[in-house]
Chain A
Amino acid sequence: MPRRNTQVFIVALIIFALAACVVLPVEEGLLGKRGIRLGLDLQGGIHIVYRADLSSLEPGERDGAMDGVKEILGNRINPMGVTEPLIQRQGSDRIVVELPGLSITDKEKERLSRVAILEFGELAAEDEEAKWENELGRWKPATAIIDGEEKVLTSRYFRENTYIAPGDFGRIELHFEWDEEGAQLSKEITSRLIKKPLGIFEGDNALLGEDGRPIAPTVQAVIVDRGVITGLSLNEVTSLSQQLNAGRLPVPLEIIYDQTVSPILGSDFVDMSVKAGLIGIVIVMLFMIFYYRLSGVLASLALVFYGTLVMALFKLIPVTLTLAGLGGFILSIGMAVDANVLIFERMKEEIRAGRTLGAAIEAGFNRAWTAIRDSNVTTFIVCGILYWLGGSIVASAPVMGFALTLFIGVAVSMFTAIVVTRTLLRLFVGTPLAQRTRLFSPHLGRK
Chain B
Amino acid sequence: MAILLKIAYRNLREHKTKTLIIGSIIALGLLILVVGNSLLDTAEEGIRKMFTENFTGQVIITASRNENLSLFMGPGRMNGEPTPTIPEYPELASYLDALPGVENTVSQITGFATADLNGEGNAFLQLFGVDPEQYLEMFPNTAEVIEGRLLEVEETGIVVSEDVVEMLEESSGRKVEIGDKILLTNINSVSGTKIREIEIKGIIRFVSEAPNLSLISYIDVGSLRALSGMTKVTDVEVDLNREEQEALGRVDEDDLFGSDEDLFADTELVTETSTEDALLTILGDTSEAQAFRELDPDGWQYVLLKLEDSRSPERLIRSLNSYFEEQELDVKAYGWVDAAGATAQLVSGLKTVFNVLILIVAVVAIIIIMNTLVISITERIGEIGTMRAIGARRLFVRRMITLETLMISLAFGVIGIILGSGIIGILNLTGIEATSMFLQVLFGGSVLTPVVSTGSVLASLLMVIVVGIIASLYPVSVALKIEPVRAMNQR
Same assembly: no
Taking Cβ atoms with an 8 Å cutoff, the residues of B that contact A are: none
Taking Cβ atoms with an 8 Å cutoff, the residues of A that contact B are: none
